[in-house]
Amino acid sequence: MSHPRSVATARLAVGALLSALLGFACGPNDPEQPPPPPQPMTIDTVTGAPTHLPNPWKNAGCALVTDAEVIQLFGVDVKRSAFNAKTLPDRGFCLRYWMKPNWKEIESANEKPGASYREFKNTLVTQVLDYRREFVARQQFDLLRNEQRSTYEEDVTGLGEDAVWSSSTTSLVVKKGHLLVKITLDYTEKPHDNLPLAKKVAERALRKMR
């Protein structure tokens, strides 16, 4: 037996998270958007140096990895799983979530006295962090690796220019030029088991960022 109140509470929590991040725009039934075109680089007329490198993903967070790609990668039954997507303006941000196949059983077990809580929905967050300069992005990435090593404890090879993984936050961060791509995935029961799937998501994103 399902518990509508608990489901409603969970959905309100997701909405509150997004509202706290300046509100969202983009519903689950929005048509797929193509990757944004490259943006021209602004040049300082005095020095001839670029004032900043372009970020075509600033308002295209959900185009970095499309709904169709997520559905294919995770075998999502859109209607049965209540698949949804939300984005934030000017943040290169996209949140997707969908119910686990056995969410009713998980939710029922969560309601029992003394039960350890188990998540009954899957979530995938992709975000592009723009540092405008490659050396600044390198500095920020190295801060994660060196000063937050207890969180981002694992180096990941074969992705972008550099990558690290955090099991405690189930997050993968990849450096690509002046951008950092952050993939946060809560899909498997064991946190570290999310890494291979997060890598597949990152690979899809990086193909579009060449």
DSSP string, 88-149: ETTTTEEEEEEE-TTHHHHHHHHTSTTPPP---EEEEEEEEEE-SSHHHHHHHHHHHHHHST
**Given a cut of 90, is residue 7 above it in pLDDT?**
no
| pLDDT for the residue numbered 118 | 85
Rounded to 10 degrees, the C-alpha dihedral 146/152/154/160 comes to: -90
| pLDDT for the residue numbered 159 | 97
* Nearest in space to 154 (alpha carbons), one of 138, 131, 180, 173: 173
Confidence category of residue 38, pLDDT binned at 50, 70, 90 = low
* Nearest in space to 117 (alpha carbons), one of 109, 105, 125: 109
**Ranges 29-33, 96-100, 136-140, 159-163: which has the least confidence:** 29-33
Confidence category of residue 68, pLDDT binned at 50, 70, 90 = very high
The predicted model gives 64-78 an average pLDDT of: 95
How far apart CA 206 and CA 160 sit, in angstroms, is 7
CA angle 2, 27, 182 (to 5 degrees): 90
Q: Hey, how many other C-beta atoms are within 10 angstroms of the C-beta on 10?
A: 17
What's the whole-model pTM score? 0.75
Confidence category of residue 57, pLDDT binned at 50, 70, 90 = very high
